[in-house]
A and B are shown apart, each in its own frame.
Chain A
Amino acid sequence: MNVQRSNLIFAWILLFPAVLYVAVIVAYPLVDTFILSFTDASLKKVTNWVGWVNYQKIFNATFAEVIIRTFIWTFFSVSIKMIIGVFGATMLNSAVPGRALFRVLTMPPWIVPMAIGIFMWGWMYNGQFGMISGMLQRFGLADAPVAFLAQGSTAFWATIITDVWIGVPMVTLYMLAAMQAIPQDLYEAAWTDGAGRLYRFRRITMPLIVPSMITMSMLSLISTFNSFDIIWILTRGGPSGETTTMIIDTYKTAIGSNKYGEGAARAVLICIFLSIFCVCYFRLTSRLSSGDKR
């Protein structure tokens, strides 16, 4: 009894600093966002309670567009990441010479400071002298230089591709780990039964990595939804708002125009979406892990 209690106290002493720190720097601001969203706070003005005004203001056609765009952007980014990641993991899981080196070579986009990777993409997309435009012209696919970041449609895809590029190493390594956790005897048994390589991939590998794919998609969904650096550095939400996602819009409103209250209302909306994703994620992972035990 006494030992138990001293254990408990000790555990809390160990936990307290980390918990307190996160509570002050994350939990308190979360509450503050919620409160701010009902005020007209700005950089200088005295703060007044305004009720639902900020929320009423954001429900207009432009913002609806921003929401829809955010979801489309996220959907494509995550899907492409997953496709390329599973493809890469499958390739890197093959027992060919040099694979250890190839695995290392997938890591740079993940490990390098994000902003610097984005600068490199910024150059590749450069309208006058960039590599992609240059290559297109070289191979006769474009007559004139293509300024990818200056037109809405291409800028939209350009930011998605850069986001995919940054996320792919994580997805690949995670999927690779999932593939390596599959017991070899399953493959051997299937092989003895005369199953071909493609059949084994479809019937053994795929079903067994689906739980990891779902987990990874959810994690990727959350980070993509939150993605700020890529769009801000490449386009700052432009041209004419066509790469403005919810995060970018919130930043522009709050920090760019100093409208904290309106920005906070947008942030609350983002938090609601994120919470929904979180709940889905917890549900899925707990269901999947309980499924494992059975």
Chain B
Amino acid sequence: MKQPPMLINRYKWYEIIGIYVGIAVFLTFVLAPFVEGFLVSLKPLSQLFSSPYRFIPENGSFEAYRTMWISVPGFARYIFNSFFISTIVTAAVLVLVIPASYAFARFEFKGAGVLLGAFLAVNMFSGAVLLIPLFRLMRTLGLLNTYFAIMVPGIAFLIPSAIWLLRTYMMRIPRELDEAAFVDGASHFYTLRRVILPIAMPGITVVAITTFIGSYAQQFIFALTFNSKTEYAPLPVGLFAYFGRQEVVWNELMAASFVGIAPAMIVIFFLQKYLVSGLTAGAVKQ
């Protein structure tokens, strides 16, 4: 739907300069840590700890990206753990959330509003508040120091926003579609699987991506508290152990960080269009 350029959107030259300066200032704040982190990852160690401070590296190289695999012990394992945990968490969230969202989107039943509100409220109590009882629960279930200790609570805290997002998406699918299938004699499950699922795929994709990113982001506190074994540590906790040392080799830490976030960056690059609309869909369309 491209509209013809409107007269009111035409800027004077000084307005355009003002806008670009504004955007530059804004993006400088947003991107500064990444730029600085990247430049540090290129610096040789001698330059890192020399005074006066130098922003642009001299004789920069990707050396740290090679050495960090050895000096950040277990790095490959942390990356694997993070991906593994997020993949399982995302799959579990989808399995639980797709049917629930469909129920909320299509059926009117007593308590639906209250239940939706309750899910929203869950979103507001972070894992940090419930850490003590969750620790006891994980201990009782014998899950401490396993992958499950990180996954199980993680899933619960990602369900509510996923339900809200997917429900909004499913409500936009015309009701006639599944009603027609139902009238034709298809069972409820068949309708959900063969009619709704294919149409809802873009919405499900957005939910899957945001859940995956959310899981990757939330791994810190649960993993820090419920898991003391490095073999199960996800990237944030693995790097935190390294970060907390007396002598941090910063260029390697930054190189490790960039390798760790590269997948997320690639995901944003390809899916940013869906992400922006997905992020705001629930908020604006209600």
* Chain A residue nearest to B39 in the complex (CB): A131
Residue A28 interfacial (CB < 8 Å): yes
* Chain B minimum-CB-distance residue to A247: B128
Q: Is the CB of B160 within 8 A of A105?
A: no
From the candidates A91, A173, A181, A270, name the one contacting B19 in the complex (CB within 8 A): A91
C-alpha spacing A251/B130, complex, angstroms: 10
Contact across chains for A197 and B152 when beta carbons are under 8 A apart: no
Complex Cα distance, B105 from A187, in Å, reads 35
**Given A26-B157, A228-B128, A255-B135: A187 touches B8 (CB 8 Å cut-off):** yes
The B contact surface, by secondary structure, is: helix
Residues in B with CB closer than 8 Å to A250 are 128-129, 131
A112–B115 Cα distance when bound, in Å, is: 31
Flag if B36 contacts A120 (CB, 8 Å): yes
Q: Is the CB of A271 within 8 A of B254?
A: no
B137 to chain A, nearest CB (A): 6
Whether B240 pairs with A25 at a CB distance below 8 angstroms is no
Q: Does A157 contact B (CB under 8 A)?
A: no
Stretch binding the partner chain, chosen from B60-68, B199-207, B274-282: B274-282
B34 close to chain A: CB less than 8 A: yes
Interfacial residues of chain B within 106-162, with CB under 8 A of chain A in the complex: 106-107, 109, 115, 117, 119, 121-122, 124-126, 128-137, 152-153, 155-157, 159-160
The chain B residue sitting closest to A107, CB to CB, is B268
Report the interface size for chain B: residues with CB under 8 A from the other chain: 103
Q: Which of A1-59 contact B (CB under 8 A)?
A: 6-8, 10-15, 17-19, 21-22, 24-26, 28-30, 32-33, 36
Cβ-defined contact, B26 with A91, below 8 A:
yes
Q: Does A240 contact B (CB under 8 A)?
A: no
Residues of A within 8 A of B40 (CB): 123
Shortest Cβ-Cβ A-B pairs, 6 listed: A134-B53, A115-B236, A177-B280, A29-B133, A25-B156, A32-B133
- 12 new A-B contacts, CB < 8 A, other than A104-B268, A169-B30, are A21-B155, A32-B133, A111-B264, A111-B265, A113-B236, A119-B239, A119-B253, A120-B257, A184-B6, A197-B15, A233-B220, A267-B129
